[in-house]
Amino acid sequence: MPPLVGVAPGVVTLKINGVDCSARDDQTVLEVAREQNIHIPTLCHLEGLESVGGCRLCLVEIQGMRGLVAACVTKVTEGMEVQTSTPQIEAYRKMIVQMLFTERNHVCSVCVSNGHCELQDLAVEMGITHVEIPYLFPKCELDASHPRFVLDHNRCVLCQRCVRVCDEIEGAHVWDNQGRGIHCRVVTGLDEPWITSDTCTSCGKCVHVCPTGALFEKGRSAGEMAKKAPQLPYLQNIRKGAARG
């Protein structure tokens, strides 16, 4: 569709699932879809953190573009036509969630986040009652060296929220990645026990942005770890305000 004449600079119009929308041109497809109450599932995305398009659950189809793209990192353009749900997209999303379950050891029934877990919610939302691909059953360790928090690699989905919140909001950059592909792990410091990290402020943001039971407060039993996702946009604004003086 050619650009409309007379539209103010920075504003675009597009269609999502056939619905006409207007948006700023610095917005992502995901942001615009949410403004329009069009649901796109996400896992690694969290408002207030830079998007990385890691989990690929927000895949959408855009007319004229090859393959599927991640809605959280794709900026809207004039005349764009987006489909958020097609049989192919739904099949891919289901496969992604199943692969997340098989890659680590997610035992919901005894998990601290049972009933409060975004991965579990996604499985319910997508009607995944069985996993069709073989489980890998990797042997994963726990790091319970921190006096208040525990890291359980068995439940980690590598969404990188902990890495990003610690870097972008807290400014401590305790967390990072080690290894590639299936061997990738989030690590504290240079893959040292959490307690030895000199930069960790024990603020707990990593714990509360974690979508699963991979990071939790010590002393929590099954189903007791309800996360209170911090108001990250608010925190970011405070930070920007402070920087401006």
Partner 1 sequence: MARTILIDNVTRIEGHGKITINLDDSGDVADARFHVTQFRGFEKFAQGRPFWEMPSLTARTCGICPVSHLVASAKACDELLAVRIPRVAADLRRVINLAQILQSHALSFFYLSSPDMVMGYDSDPARRHILGVAQDDPQLAADGVKLRSIGQKIIEILGGKRIHPAWVVPGGVNDPLSVDERDKILAMLPEGFEIMKRTLSWFKGAVGSFQEQIRTFGNFPSLFMSLVASGRLEARKGELALYEGWLRFTNENGEIVRDDVDPRRYDEVLGEAVEDSSYLKSPYYKPMGYPDGMYRVGPQARLNNIIGTGEPLSNVEFMEYREMYRDSLNSSFHNHHARLVEMLFCLEKIQHLLNSKHIMDKHCRALAEPNELEGVGVSEAPRGTLFHHYKIDENGIIQWVNMVIATGNNSLAMNRSVTQVAREYVKADRLQEGMLNRVEAVIRCYDPCLSCSTHAIGHMPLDITLLAPDGRVLDHLRRDA
Rounded Cα distance, 223 and 91, in Å = 29
Q: Does 219 bind partner 1 (CB under 8 A)?
A: yes
Q: How far is it, in rounded angstroms, from Cα 159 to Cα 67? A: 22
Q: Does 138 bind partner 1 (CB under 8 A)?
A: no
List of E strands, the chain: 11-16, 19-24, 59-62, 69-70, 81-83, 142-143, 149-152, 175-178, 185-188, 215-217
Indicate the residue among 26 and 191 with the shorter CB distance to partner 1: 191
Binding mask 143-182 toward partner 1 (x if CB under 8 A, else -) reads -xx-x--x-x------------------------------
Q: How far is the CB of 179 from partner 1 (least distance, A)?
A: 20
The answer to whether 223 contacts partner 1 (rule: CB under 8 A) is yes
Q: Measuring CA to CA, which residue among 188, 156, 157, 159 is closest to residue 52?
A: 159
Q: How far is the CB of 18 from partner 1 (least distance, A)?
A: 43
Is residue 185 close enough to count as binding partner 1 by CB under 8 A?
Answer: no
Query: 224, 235, 236, 239: which one contacts partner 1 (CB under 8 A)?
Result: 224
Tokens of 57: 């659950």
Angle between helices 118-125 and 87-103 (to 10 degrees): 140
Kindly state the smallest distance separating residue 214's Cβ from partner 1, in Å. 13
Write down the least CB distance from residue 106 to partner 1, Å. Answer: 14
With CB under 8 A as the contact rule, the residue among 138, 191, 218, 234 that binds partner 1 is 218
d(CA 97, CA 61): 19
Tokens at residue 94, please? Answer: 């289901």
Q: Does 142 bind partner 1 (CB under 8 A)?
A: yes
Min dist. Cβ of residue 112 to partner 1 (A): 7
- Outline where the chain has alpha helix (H): 29-35, 87-103, 118-125, 161-164, 205-209, 232-244
Cβ closest to partner 1, residue 39 vs residue 148: 148
Q: Rule CB under 8 A: which of 95-114 touch partner 1?
A: 109-110, 112, 114
Tell me the C-alpha to C-alpha distance, in Å, between residue 196 and each of 144, 184, 187, 200. 12, 21, 12, 9
Mapped onto helix, strand or coil, the DSSP state of residue 149 is strand
Q: Which residues pair with 14 in a beta bridge?
A: 21
**Closest distance to partner 1 from the beta carbon of 222 (Å):** 4
Q: Which residues bind partner 1 (CB under 8 A)?
A: 109-110, 112, 114, 141-142, 144-145, 147, 150, 152, 218-224
